[in-house]
Amino acid sequence: MSKMEKGVVLLVEDNPQILDINRRILEKDNVMVLTAKTLEEARERIKIAMPDVVVLDIMLPDGNGLEFLSELRETCNAPALFLTAKADRSDVLAGLMAGGNDYITKPYDIDEFRARVLGFLQLVDSVKIRKRSDVSISSLLSDNELSVALYAAEGMSNKDIANRVFLSESRVKTCLSGIYRKLGIAEMKDKRSRLAEILNA
């Protein structure tokens, strides 16, 4: 990846027109884009470069995107955005429960798609920078936990954090409980102040 590139995005989509449009819009923002029309191709692309963000259809010629994400999570913790025609509430919930961080239904607004992917890349980049500067924290917290911790330390509400990291408020609350426990501040009254002290140390 060149210095100008903002990150690596894997697009898994069996519609060639959608795949081409999404690829071109992201490449204009200096994003390295890997494309795959099948899950088999997606597995091959991951061998080329581990993605920072994954955009994944659910209905694919050789399998199900939900199951593929579970497989991918064994080696890759990249934020995942489902882009699919499956628009029922049960489908959205299934996507989020499978480990997806966001869910967009087709037809979709290309500007919104671009903004969400770039937002994920910025979040991933901030976490990478933090991990390079603080080895002890990075060994305790996952990428998702670290991003939540950084926003909490800034004083954001759970609702605002949820909007930033594309999780529900309840999942943010659960995540924060795990962070406090790992950092040994679960029993403190002013947990967020102590969290800020630890991250800014």
| 28 within 8 A of 35, measured Cβ to Cβ | no
pLDDT, tens only, 56-90: 999 999 999 999 998 888 888 889 999 999 999 99
pLDDT, tens only, 90-123: 999 999 888 888 999 999 999 999 999 998 898 8
Percent of the chain predicted with pLDDT > 70: 91
Buried (b) or exposed (e) across 124-135, using 16+ Cβ within 10 A?
A: beebeebeeebe
Nearest to 93 by CA among 83, 79, 103, 84: 103
pLDDT, tens only, 6-58: 789 999 999 999 999 999 999 999 999 999 999 999 999 998 888 999 999 99
CA distances from 139 to 95, 131, 132, 136, 192 (A): 28, 9, 11, 5, 20
pTM recorded for the entire structure? 0.67
| Beta pairing partners, 32 | 8
Backbone angles phi, psi at 137, to 5 degrees: -65, -45
Measured CA to CA, the distance from residue 123 to residue 165 in angstroms comes to: 8
